[in-house]
Amino acid sequence: MKMKTIVIAIGGNSLIKDAEHRSVVDQYAAVVETAHHIADLVARGFRVVITHGNGPQVGFILLRSEHSRGLLHEVPLDSIGADTQGAIGYQIQQAMQNDFRRRGLTKSVATVVTQALVDKNDPAFQKPTKPIGQFYKKEEAEDRMRVEKWSMVEDAGRGWRRVVASPKPTRIIEADAIKHLVASGCIVIAAGGGGIPVVQDEQGDLHGAAAVIDKDLASAVLAKEIAADMLVISTAVEKVYLNFGKPDQKALDRLTVAEAKQYMTEGHFKPGSMLPKIQACIQFIENGGKEALITCPETLPLALDGKTGTRIVA
């Protein structure tokens, strides 16, 4: 029986539980919990690729860079993405390795620093919308815009904040390497934070871009390129809901692509929350994927058995 390959995109709740638990030690404790649930799937014979977010961690590095302004060089955003991929990947792979040892499983785990190709002419570069980093006073923001050439916006009276482009990923540069590792039985952590955004010049050379890629959309691209059987998006809720948070909210066990598009049009899924997850699932299926699944880390094994979660199918 062919072993199924699944790409699991783990959300921010798998790394930082709340505002009171943001230290590296706290993050590792959260990772251990999620790693245990994923190890359950590996123990059952699934081939697994893990992707993850990195928004708060990028913010932390930007803040450190701000406090060391004048003492150390600035860290470009693409390098920050690489830094977080390494640090978070290290935590996940260590947690997985420890869990495997306790189970008596002999499995290799590796983190791949991953680049995601974006179109240099993507309209997102002309209209940056993704907020990153800290809030600034108006005078500070004007200085950053003049000297650093940042795009900045005022945020509802809370101060000014840097915004960067969020272009769509078109290809995962390291997809072939990831595919070979998976075929050899390795558990792979890849496309952290949506991948490091890179553009290609006329000669074919790659260059880092000051942008942020949605990790769910990048996970869908990666799942397609490695021919995964399923895209799994692990988030804070067990299922997808209509009218979420309202008295008449309704859990969904199964969604067709057409139904998902209809509910999107009706405004059931919020931007920055469930909407990009649904969009990623639709993209994966429309590009040849068999099915997608949305659930929370604790219910991953049950969801794969069809006992909970929301499945999206063609």
Query: Mind listing the pLDDT tens digit for each residue in 64-119?
Result: 888 888 898 888 999 999 999 999 999 999 999 999 999 999 999 999 999 999 99
Would the pLDDT of 205 be above 70? Answer: yes
pLDDT computed for residue 17 by the predictor: 78
Which pLDDT score, from 0 to 100, does residue 21 have?
A: 82
- Whole-angstrom Cα distance, residue 27 to residue 14? 8
Phi, psi of 169 (to 5 degrees): -75, 140
Nearest to 69 by CA among 144, 152, 168: 144
For residue range 12-71, list pLDDT tens digits in order: 767 887 778 889 999 999 999 999 999 999 999 999 999 999 988 998 898 888 888 889
Yes or no: say if 219 and 280 are a contact pair by the CB < 8 Å rule. Answer: yes
At residue 59, the pLDDT reads 87
Between 9 and 161, where is the model more confident? 9
> Out of 159-163, 207-211, 220-224, which region has the weakest mean confidence (pLDDT)?
159-163
Which stretches of 226-271 are DSSP H helices? 257-265
Q: What is the DSSP letter of 190?
A: -
Residue 307 is classified by DSSP as S
pLDDT score for 218: 97
Length of the chain: 314
Given a cut of 60, whether residue 1 has pLDDT beyond it is no
pLDDT on residue 14:
78
Residue 99 backbone phi and psi in degrees, to 5: -65, -40
Task: Quote the CA–CA distance of 22 and 146 in Å, as a whole number.
Answer: 33
Distance CA 271, CA 242 (A): 14
Question: Rounded CA gap, 180 and 245, in Å?
Answer: 43
**Cα–Cα distance, 70 to 47 (Å, whole number):** 47
Q: Strand 310-313 and strand 291-295: pairing? A: antiparallel
Tell me what pLDDT residue 84 has.
95
100: its two tokens: 């495997």
Residue 94 is encoded by which pair of tokens? 């260590």
Q: What is the per-residue pLDDT for 189? A: 98
Residue type, 65: S
Residue 28 CA: distances (Å) to CA of 16, 56, 77, 96: 9, 14, 24, 11
Q: What is the mean pLDDT of the chain?
A: 93
**What's the CATH fold of domain 5-116+170-313?**
Carbamate kinase (3.40.1160)
Q: Model confidence at 299, in pLDDT bands (50, 70, 90)?
A: very high
pLDDT digits (tens, 9 = 90+) for 242-257: 988 888 889 999 999 9
Token digits for 224? 């397609």
> Of the candidates 37, 40, 52, 44, which has an alpha carbon nearest to the alpha carbon of residue 7?
52
* Residue-level pLDDT at 2: 64
* Helix H or strand E segment including 84: helix 77-103
**21 three-state secondary structure:** coil
Q: Residues with catalytic annotation?
A: 12-13, 130, 215, 277
Residue 166 pLDDT > 80:
yes
What dihedral angle (degrees, nearest 10) is formed by the CA atoms of 24, 216, 105, 36?
50
* Tokens of residue 24, six digits: 């590296």
Q: Give me the residue spans of the domains in the chain.
A: 5-116+170-313
Residue 157: pLDDT band by 50, 70, 90 thresholds?
confident
CB atoms near residue 172 (< 10 Å): 26
Q: What is the pTM of this model?
A: 0.93
Please write the tens of the pLDDT for every residue from 143-156: 989 988 889 999 87
